[in-house]
Amino acid sequence: MLEITVPRPAVEQDPFTCVLALLGSSESSVEAAIASAAMLPPRGRLVLAAVADTDNAGRAAIAPRRMARRRHRDALSRLAEAQRACDARPGHLLVGDPVRAGLAVARAEAATLIAVRGPEPGREPFTGDVAAGILRAARGSVLVVRGGLFGPPRRIVAGVDGSRGGIRAAAAAAELAARCGARLTLLAASGGRPLDLERVYTRHPGAVLDPRPPADALVAAAQDADLVVVSSRGLRELPALGSVGDRVSSRAACSVLTVR
């Protein structure tokens, strides 16, 4: 894919100003903290929170109390591991439903972004897991981490379509690319609903045109990227099909930042 250098438009607020890294009981959940810490601006703040999902443990058919204790112990371990890996302040240990607990801490900490480890990529928007719940309920931006991103991204792809949402996504991607020294590609997908190419090229000079629908184009671009950036609005897909952010976050091989 063609890589370009784009001007850095003004960012209303850097999504990484205050990041809440939401950890679970699995070892891989620590990747959310490590990845987001690597993308913090100089004065950015990282907040750690580990959730012991005792609600689901309580519904277990075998030894629910033992399962709850185990999840509590595992969450403490993940929190300590993330603190060491990121040299971060002591974090929050939460108990209960991960989505509700995570959103409550995000509000209390005035987090501008929630980072969470995503499941393995699939064909359809994921349902029933923490990443899906956070992505759909959070008011701020969401980073779904996958693909072994343990340092700053080196290749970033941002989806644009000339809309205000696309402008926000491009601005956040450009700011992050400049901070991390990453290569940035702006991708405009012309498949699906009509795309105003004149507006796209006016607002995003040098954007690369892809004839596929937005989700398909961005998922394909993710194969050669470390991070895909999309807006929660725009990109012209019908609501009945799910947002592009949902679809890309569930199917992309790399991490996905949904900007709000």
pLDDT for the residue 6: 43
Same domain assignment for residues 141 and 24: yes
In a domain, 5, yes or no: no
Q: Judge contact between 172 and 256, C-beta under 8 A.
A: no
pLDDT at 58 over 70: no
Interval 72-82: pLDDT, tens: 899 999 999 99
In a domain, 117, yes or no: yes
In a domain, 200, yes or no: yes
Interval 167-176: pLDDT, tens: 999 999 999 9
Range of the domain at 135: 18-145
Q: CATH number of the domain that 100 lies in?
A: 3.40.50.620
Exposure string for 137-150, b = 16+ CB within 10 A, e = fewer: ebebbbbbbbbebe
Same domain assignment for residues 33 and 119: yes
The 208-210 sheet, strands edge to edge: 92-95, 45-52, 18-23, 113-117, 141-145, 255-259, 227-231, 155-159, 183-189, 208-210
pLDDT at 148 over 90: no
pLDDT for the residue 182: 96
Same domain assignment for residues 185 and 208: yes
The alpha helices in the chain, defined as continuous H runs, are: 30-37, 54-58, 64-86, 98-108, 130-137, 164-180, 197-203, 214-221, 244-251
pLDDT for the residue 147: 78
In a domain, 11, yes or no: no
Would you say the pTM of this structure is higher than 0.85? yes
pLDDT at 127 over 70: no
Which helix H or strand E contains 145, and what residues bound it?
strand 141-145
Please, what is the average pLDDT of the chain? 86
Flag the least confident range among 24-33, 57-66, 185-194.
57-66
Give the pair of three-digit tokens for residue 99. 């989505």
Please tell me what DSSP assigns to residue 250. H
Same domain assignment for residues 120 and 44: yes
Interval 98-114: pLDDT, tens: 999 999 999 999 999 99
pLDDT for the residue 235: 46
Final residue before a domain boundary, out of 101, 123, 145: 145
The model's confidence at residue 128, banded by pLDDT at 50, 70 and 90, is low
Give the count of domains, the chain.
Answer: 2
Pairing of strands 113-117, 141-145: parallel
In a domain, 47, yes or no: yes
Give the integer Cα–Cα distance in Å for 176 and 198: 26
**At CA 150, angle to CA 87 and CA 46, rounded to 5?**
40
Final residue before a domain boundary, out of 94, 112, 145: 145
Final residue before a domain boundary, out of 145, 170, 188: 145
Mean pLDDT to the nearest integer, 59-77: 78
Q: Within 13 Å and on the Cβ side, how many CA atoms surround 157?
A: 28
Q: C-alpha dihedral over 41, 162, 247, 34, to 10 degrees?
A: -10
Same domain assignment for residues 162 and 199: yes
Same domain assignment for residues 132 and 177: no
Give the pair of three-digit tokens for residue 81. 């591991």
CA-based nearest residue to 50, from 84, 89, 92: 92
In a domain, 8, yes or no: no
**Residue for token digits 């903290």?**
33
Q: In percent, how much of the chain has pLDDT > 70?
A: 85
pLDDT at 88 over 90: yes
